[in-house]
Amino acid sequence: MKDMTAIKTANAPAAFGPFSQGVKTDTLVFATGQLPLDPATGEVVSDDVQEQTRQVMNNLKAILAEAGCSMDRVVKATVFITSMDDFTKMNEVYAEFFSGTFPARSCIEVSGLAKGAKVEVEAIALLP
């Protein structure tokens, strides 16, 4: 591995702790778990899981774009969700962001997420 570079974009929420929005290596992009935060306000966009999922995925898309990558290069995603009752609704929106081969994925129900979010997604992508 040559180098590790932090990814920073105003088009996704700023990191609010000791972490980067993402990290780029010579071949991979590691996008930090994204919450459904509006990049301008830092607040959760809605209480609706589908609106939250859409914001999360748009945040991931912005981080990948800043790294010179795109959603079709995602090889692994991990979804954290506070209720499996929301799984189908989350999945409907998640699927809109991919075409062709879907990435490998895990979905884990958790007892809580930062800022009271219902969903968080992190991703690993291959650079072109």
Record the pTM: 0.95
Q: Are 19 and 8 in contact (CB under 8 A)?
A: no
Number of structural domains in the chain: 1
Q: Which domain holds residue 79?
A: 5-126
Specify the CATH number for the domain of residue 105.
3.30.1330.40
Dihedral, CA of residue 19, residue 25, residue 29 and residue 31, to nearest 10: 0
Residue pLDDT, tens place only, 18-62: 999 999 999 999 999 999 999 999 999 999 999 999 999 999 999
